[in-house]
Structure 1
C-alpha cells in the first residue's frame, strides 16, 4: 500500500527534474550582473572525468573557488546518479572550501551558495535550503538556478503559494528544462494532469541529453500510471529506457506496470534489476513478492530498506516520511506516528498529511486520522492512494456511505494503485453493498 519509492530516489530531488544540478555548474547563460562562468565545464556523460579534471586543476590551483564549487556540484550529481550518500560529505567539503575562498569583491562564489542549498534539499533540510536560496537571491537575483533551490524547498515544505511565486520568477527569467519540469511537478501536486503533460512535452522538446529526455518520459509514465493507464505508462517507461537504459526509476515503473498487466515474470525480473541498481525500490518490490505469497523474499527486501536507513542515520540523514510510510504498512504503526509527527513539524506537505493520517488510522486513532486525510485533500491529494486511505479511515469511523464514495473514487482514478490496497477497496465495497 505504501509509496515509499516517491521519497527515496536521490533523497528528495529526483521527482523535480534530472537537471536540478546541471544548470548550477558554471558556464550557463548569465545576466550581465552575474559572476563570470567558472573554468570547469559540465560533462554529463563523463562525470567521473569531470571530477578528475576538477581535482587535477585544484592540485595546481588550490585557491580556485569556482572549481571547488564545480567539484561540489559534480559530487552532488554523482550522489544522484549512484544513490551513494557518501558523496554528500564530499560535496559539502568542496562547497565549504569554495565558500572560504571569497571572490575579488569579498563575496563567496555564488555557485557554492546555490550548491549548499541543493545539498540541503538533498539531505531533507528544507528550512536550511531556503536560507541558502535566499542568501543567493540577495547576492545575485538573476542567477536563475537559485529559484530552483527555493522552489524545491517550498514544495517539500508544503508552502505551495510561495513555491508558485518563485517558480514564476524562474519561468519568466529562464523558461527552460529545469523550470518546465518543476512547473509540471506543481501541476501534478494540484491534480492537473493535462497542464503537467503539456509542460513535460515542452521540456522533452528542449532536453539537452538522453537522461533529461528519459526523465520527461518517466514523468509522463507516472501521470499515465496515476490515471489508471498501465499500458500507456508502460509505453512511456519503455521509451525512457530506450533513451537512457540506466534510468532506474523508469525500470521500476516498467516493472510496476507489468505487474498490473499480469506480466508477473517480467515484472519480477525488472524489479530485481532495479533494486540491484538502487535500494530506492525495495519496498515496492517486496510488496509484489508479498502479494505473490513469497513472504521470505519480501522480508529480505524490507530488511534492505531498514539497513539503508540505518546507514542514512549514520550519515546524519533521517527520512521520517519514508520510515513512517514503511512502518505504517510493514512494521509498527505507533513508530510510524512518531516519525510522521516529527516530519509534520518540519513540513506540512500533502504527502506528509496523507502519511500521518494513514499512520494514525493504523495505530487506531481514526478521529485524528480523518482530520489529516481531509487536510491532504485540501492540499491537493488528488490520487488514488490518498483517496483510498481516506475511504479506509471513514470506514473505520462507521461512515459507510462516505467510505464507499472514497473507495469507489480511488478505484476509478487508478484501479491498480496498490496490489493490496486495491484488493482491500474492492472487498470493502462488496461487503458494504
Structure 2
C-alpha cells in the first residue's frame, strides 16, 4: 500500500512539472510573439555627390572631380533662380578654384573670380574673402592672397578655413615665421585630417621631415572621402621621394591612384619614382597619363627632361612646346607661371631671359623656390658671385625655412665649384646625393662627375656666412 501511494505521488508530481513546462513554453512563446521583430539598423544613405563636394569645399579639402561637377551644376542652377544668395556664390567660386586645381584648366579662374566678387557685392562675407585668397594662391599671387586672407580673418577671426590660405600666402612670400604662427592659430581652432595635412606642409618647409610624415600618415588614416585620402597619400609619397625612398614613394603614389583615378599628381609622382627605378617605359606612360588630364607645365618639364636623358631630343621639344603653350594660356587667365618658366629658360632656353623674369618675381614675392631658381639662372649667365647670394638664401635655415632639397644643395654646390670654393662645393654636392640620390637623372650624373673632378679636397669648415649676405633684398 505504501509503495502504491508513493507511486501515485510521483505520478501527480510528474503531471504538475509537465503542465508547468508546457505553460511556461506557452507564455514564452506568447512573449516572443509580442516582441517587435528584430530591427536592422539602416545604414545612413551615402550623401549625394554634390553634397560630398560641398562638405569638402566648405572645409577646404580635396574633392572628387565627379562630385565637383555635380556641385557646380547644382549651384549654377540654384543661382539662376536665387541670384541674391551670397553663400552659394562663394561656394561656387571656391568650387571653380578646386576644379581648376584638379584639371589645370585655368579658364575656371575667371569664373571663380566673378562668382566670388558677386558674393561680396551681395553681402560682404568671410567665405568669399577666403575664397579670393585661395584663388590668388592658386594663381601664385601671394601678396594679393595675403590681402584677401587678412580681410577674411579680420571679419571672422575664428573661421578656421581662412588660415590655410594665409599659410600658403606667407610661405609664398618667404615669411616662414608668420606661416608657423598662422598654423598655431589654426591648430587652436580646429583639429582633424585637413589640419594635420596643413601642419605637415609647414613642418616639411622647416626641415622636420619625420614630423611631416607622421602628420600625413594620420591625415590619410582619418580622411573621410577617397579623394581626400588620395591627396594625403600623394603628399606622403612626395615626402618619401624627397628623401630618396623610391619604393616607398611609388607605393604611396600607386595607392593614391587606386583610390582616386583622377589623382594626376600621384601619376606624375609614379613617373618620377619609376624613372629612378630604371623602369623608363612605365615612367613615360605615367607622365603621359598625368599630362593628358592635368597638363601642368611642371609635368611637361619633367617628362621633357626624361626624354632628353634618354636621348629623345625631338620628343623633349614637343613637351617644352606644350609647356610654353600652357604658360601663355595660364597668363591669359591671370595665373603667374614665371617661376616654372624661369626654371625652364635657365636650363633649356634663354638664361638671360630667366634672370629678368625671376628677378622680377623675387621683387614681387621672395620665396625660397624663387631664390633658388634666380641663383641658378644667374649661374647660367656666368654671374656666379651674385648667384651664390640667392643659392645661400634658398639653403639657409634662418631665412629659407630649412627645407631639405637635393636640388637646392646641388645648385649651391655647382655654383661654389665654379667659384673654386672646392671644399664647400664638395660638401654640398655630397649633401644633395645624400638627401635624394635620384632627384634628377641628368643632375645626379652631373653631380657625380663634378665630385669626381673635384677629387679629394681638404675637409675645411664652411666659411661663416655674413647674415647680410643672405638677407633677402630686392634684386637689382
- TM-score, scaled relative to structure 1: 0.88
Q: How far 1:23 sits from its partner (Å)?
A: 5.3
Assess, with a 3 A threshold, how the Cα gap between structure 1 residues 236 and 368 changes in structure 2: closer, same or farther.
Answer: same
Q: How does 1:136-151 map to 2 (within 5 A)?
A: 136-151=152-167
Q: SS at 2:393's partner residue?
A: helix
Retained in 1: the 8 A contact 2:244–2:436?
yes
- Counterparts of 1:319 and 1:329 in 2: how far apart (Å)? 16
Of 326, 339, 342, the match for 1:324: 342
SS of 2:191's equivalent in the other structure is: coil
Instruction: Tell me, yes or no, if structure 1 residue 365 matches structure 2 residue 352.
Output: no
Contact 2:200 2:212 in 1 (8 A): yes
1:305 is aligned to 323
Tell me whether 1:77 sits opposite 2:62 in the alignment.
Answer: no
Contact 1:191–1:383, Cα closer than 8 Å, also in 2: no
Q: Does 1:216 align with 2:216?
A: no
Going from structure 1 to structure 2, the CA distance change for 1:313 and 1:184 (only over 3 Å counts) comes to same
What aligned pairs does 1:274-353 form with structure 2 within 5 A after superposition?
A: 274-280=290-296, 281-353=299-371
Shift of 1:69: 1.3
Q: What root-mean-square deviation, in Å, do the aligned CA atoms of Structure 1 and Structure 2 show?
A: 1.9
- Residue 134 of structure 1 pairs with residue 150 of structure 2: yes
Q: Does 1:119 align with 2:135?
A: yes
How far residue 130 of structure 1 moved from its aligned partner, in angstroms, is 1.2
Query: Is residue 220 of structure 2 the alignment partner of residue 204 of structure 1?
Result: yes
Tell me which residue corresponds to 1:15: none
Matched residue, 1:256 = 272
Q: Is 1:69–1:111's contact at 8 Å kept on the other side of the alignment?
A: yes
Residue of structure 2 in register with 1:229 after alignment: 245
Task: Specify the alignment match of 1:165 in structure 2.
Answer: 181
Residue by residue, what CA displacement relative to the aligned partner does 1:252-306 show, whole Å, maximum 9, x if unpaired? 1111111111111111111111111222211100111010000000000000000
Contact 2:130 2:149 in 1 (8 A): yes
Matched, 1:388 2:410: yes
Instruction: Name the SS for the 1:279 alignment partner.
Output: coil
Gaps of 5+ in 2: 1-51, 456-476
CA contact (8 A) 1:130 1:150 kept: yes
2:430 counterpart of 1:412: no
* Residue from 386, 395, 398 that aligns with 2:420: 398
Deviation at 1:109, TM superposition (A): 2.5
Match of 1:25 in 2: 58
Query: Deviation string for 1:304-357 (max 9, x for gaps)?
Result: 000111112222333211111111111111111111111111222211111111
Greater relative contact order, per chain length (Cα 8 Å cut-off, separation 6+): 1
Change in Cα spacing, 1:198 to 1:160, as seen in structure 2 (3 Å) is: same
- Does structure 2 conserve the Cα–Cα contact (< 8 Å) formed by 1:24 and 1:114? no
Q: Is the partner of 1:143 in helix, strand or coil?
A: coil
SS in 2 for 1:46: helix
The SS at the match of 2:99 is helix
TM-score (norm 2): 0.80
